[in-house]
Amino acid sequence: MGNLSELKKLVFESDNNACFIERERILNRLEKEMADYNEPDKYAIILSKLLSEASTPIFDCDYFAGRVVEALPEENMAAPSELLCSVGHMSFDYEKLLKVGLKGILTEIKANAKEKGDFDSVSFAKNAEIVIMAIKNYVQRYANEARNRGLLEMAKALDHVPYEPAYDFFSALQSIWLIHMIASCYVGARDYAFGRFDEYMLPFYEKALKNGKTESELTEILAGFFMKTNEICGRGTHNYKCKPILSQASKQYINIGGENPNVFSSVVLEAAKLNHMAQPQITVLLKPDADEEFTANVFTALSVLTDKMHIYHYSQIVEALINQGIEKEIAKEFTYSACCTFDLNYHSFRLEYFTPVPQIFLSVFHHNEYSSLRELLADFKAALTEEIQNYVNRTQDGFCEEEARKQFVLDSLLLSDSTVECRYACDGKAKYNVLNIFCPGVATIGDSLMVLDKLVFKEMRYSYSEFAEIVKNNYQNHEELLEEIKGYTMFGNDTEIDRYTVLAGNAFLDAVDAVEHRENHYLAAGFYSLERENVWAAEIGATPNGRRKGEPFSENQSPTYGADKNSITALLKSLSKLPFERTVTGGLNLTFSQRISPEILQALVISYFQMGGFHIGISVIDRKTLEDAMVNPNKYKSLTVRLYGFSEYFISLPKWQQIAILNRTEYCV
């Protein structure tokens, strides 16, 4: 059996400047060798050659076989090579893989291709066979290496999976890990997720218990699997100290819970506590009345893992999906595959668009002179609709068969429609294509509407053009007015002022609803900014809520930094007023200054969900520790914080992002 502490040590000793050196050497060579080869099987052959040459190292501390050799890029090396690459951002059908193996999937594809009989279907089946046999041969070399090292259980598993069906708990995890590693590291892409992990792993867990394995043994094995996910991207971040790999800063998501959480759902939580690393992110789809014991276990785990897990209101999301026309059985199986971004499990891959909402608002605000908020909101909604429509049109028209074939290499074997239709997964023709449409800065827009309504339309202290000019000039020579505005009660304090942010939220969602799109495309809307509230700040002029040019706007679903001045109860009441019943994505981070008991966390979150809340993630921040980490980073290599929809190593963040975390309101319960 492996060694958790040694695996963890390897992650922290790894070099974030290193690439997957064998991959890059081989692909750099193949790019030249195959430059003139343009047959339909080009990319399948490239992956086959890559896997045939890649080494198969196994370390003494490994629970599972499958790791990629790393080293610094060589001079003049294109790293990472995009000769092979995928869009990623999806959840594979691991349940099917475990039941029938790649062999069964290939049999299905061949039968469907034969029935269809057209050139594209036959080519698809040929490519599938090349890729599957390449994986089989690659894994067999791993089996031989395991046998040579005396690792007989590992060797037995590798003799079977992932080509054959999994036969026990260990072989199931080994099968999943190999596919996940090849997709992330060799094909190359961010954010492959594990789907509804507790559902498809339950039968293997129950069988293992019947065969004499103990819960503690299986929990450790699962923790060893979780530990391996940290090898995908090391400790680099997506926007700073970037690692030269295509899976750079990939987030590994484990979805559990939903309609019927099971005994293995709680084992996942225990293994996550044993792992206690930034990866994987435990995503709980919570239906509070589904299972009392599981719900209690969720909050016990949250009190320990804090930033390494987050919780969604399952029932509310299912209802929103059904209202959008998604079949109930598909809706109930939704997942999240990175950050706070939504997909329909293995039925879809997904894209995402951060709508420049603050920029559009300012353009409308300065374009005309309005006599009421109603007029302004109508133009704002129209401008948002045009922007989102243009994005959707570009996306729908931009799918390219050649690019889809390039991305085919592995993805199409494990997404539902592809094996039936014998078509590439990422060509836009699948039954479900999910476009996440995000609204950054909703509270900034809401607070701006409130100030405008107060000063111009109600109190009439300024004409519209006068106030617009003051804002346009960044409040220069109007410091007294600026201080007055900053003293107003804003969104986040459970007052009637919150209605303005609700207006802003509904304007955005109305705009999304007005967008025309193909029948097989689904627009997943929500309030989420990731980091745009900071990285866009420099280009965005002053806003009516007293924010000056260059200052951050509001983050995700949260109030403007520092605007929430009352209790956490007041904050959650404000947030619950947002039209979450119309959203399926987005996120909220709560920051506590000290550890909170599971009972209090459960009371807070359940009450919030009962009021209509959508999502919650927490950080427990000791400000002095963070400030010391900024000065003495080497002392804090393992320190993680909740960034937006995921956990990140604090010392790996750029300084502006560290400061943004320090600026979050801290609550004490």
Give the pLDDT mean for 535-558: 96
Candidates 12, 6, 8, 68; CA nearest to 652 is 12
Whether 580 and 592 share a structural domain: no
Q: What's the pLDDT band for 407 if we cut at 50, 70, 90?
A: low
pLDDT tens-place string over residues 617-650: 998 888 888 999 999 998 998 898 888 888 888 9
Residues 329 and 344 in one domain: no
- Domain range holding 642? 251-338+588-669
273-283 pLDDT tens trace: 999 999 999 99
Arithmetic mean of pLDDT, 586-612: 94
Question: Does pLDDT of 34 surpass 90?
Answer: yes
The DSSP call for residue 457 is I
pLDDT exceeds cutoff 70 at 41: yes
Within a domain: 242:
no
Q: Which of 193, 213, 233 is the last residue of a domain?
A: 193
Q: Is the pLDDT of residue 429 over 90?
A: no
Which tokens hold the place of 124?
Answer: 């698809």
Q: Is residue 239 part of a domain?
A: no
Distance CA 147, CA 155 (A): 5
Whether 307 and 387 share a structural domain: no
| Domain end marker among 170, 193, 216 | 193
Structure tokens given for 77: 């090396």
357 shares a domain with 456:
yes
Whether residues 455 and 321 fall in one domain: no
Rounding to the nearest 10 degrees, give the CA dihedral for residues 412, 415, 421, 425. -50
What is the pLDDT confidence band of residue 416, given thresholds at 50, 70 and 90? confident
Summarised one tens digit per residue, pLDDT across range 87-107 is 889 999 999 999 999 999 999
More confident residue, 477 or 668: 477
> How many domains does the chain contain in total?
3
Nearest CA to 410 out of 30, 139, 46, 95 is that of 46
Give the C-alpha separation, 578 to 581, whole Å. Answer: 8
- DSSP string across 172-210: HHHHHHHHHHIIIIIII-S-EE--BHHHHHHHHHHHHHH
Q: Does 300 share its domain with 409?
A: no
The confidence band for 512, taking pLDDT boundaries of 50, 70 and 90, is very high
Q: What Å distances lie between residue 646 and 170, 350, 361, 377, CA to CA?
A: 27, 18, 28, 33
Q: How many CA atoms lie within 13 A of 349 on its CB side?
A: 28
Residue 601 shares a structural domain with residue 516: no
Q: Cα–Cα distance between 334 and 515 in angstroms, integer?
A: 23
pLDDT score recorded for residue 241 = 76
For residues 430 and 283, membership in a common domain is answered with no
Concatenate the DSSP letters of all residues of 232-272 into one string: TTTT-BTTBS--SSTTTT---EEEEETTS--HHHHHHHHHH
Q: Bridge-partner residues for 434, per DSSP?
A: 350, 522
Q: Is the pLDDT of residue 267 over 70?
A: yes
> Strand 666-667 and strand 521-527: pairing?
unpaired
Mean pLDDT across the stretch 299-306? 96
My answer on whether 346 and 491 are in the same domain is: yes
State the average pLDDT for the chain. 94
What's the CA gap between 548 and 647, in Å, rounded? 30
Give yes or no for residue 401 having a pLDDT over 80. Answer: no
In a domain? residue 44: yes
Final residue in a domain of this structure, among 171, 193, 215 = 193
Query: 362 is written with which tokens?
Result: 């300012």
> What is the rounded average pLDDT of the residues 537-561?
95
Q: Are residues 388 and 453 in the same domain?
A: yes
Residue 300 lies in a domain: yes
Model confidence at 402, in pLDDT bands (50, 70, 90)?
Answer: low
Q: b vs e for 200-214, b when ≥16 Cβ sit within 10 Å of the residue's Cβ?
A: bbbbbbeebeeeebe
Report the range of poorest mean pLDDT among 22-26, 147-151, 376-380, 650-654: 650-654
Q: How far is CA 404 from CA 346, 425, 428, 512, in A?
A: 17, 7, 9, 27
Q: What is the DSSP string of 79-120?
A: SS--SS-----EE--HHHHHHHHHHHHHHHHHHHHHHH--HH
Same domain, 16 and 154: yes
Tell me, yes or no, whether 48 lies in a domain. yes
Residue 659 has pLDDT above 80, yes or no: yes
Confidence of residue 242 (pLDDT cuts 50, 70, 90): confident
SS3 assignment, position 556? coil
The verdict on 362 and 274 lying in the same domain is no
Whole-number percent of the chain with pLDDT over 90: 80
Q: Poorest-confidence range of 111-120, 342-351, 408-417, 429-438?
A: 408-417
What is the pLDDT, as a whole number, of residue 406?
A: 64
Query: 201 in a domain, yes or no?
Result: no
Q: Which residue has the higher pLDDT, 235 or 617?
A: 617
At 400 the pLDDT is: 67
Q: Is residue 494 part of a domain?
A: yes
Q: Tell which wins on pLDDT, 403 or 341.
A: 341
- Is 144 part of any domain? yes
Res. 667: pLDDT tops 80:
no
Average pLDDT over residues 474-488: 97
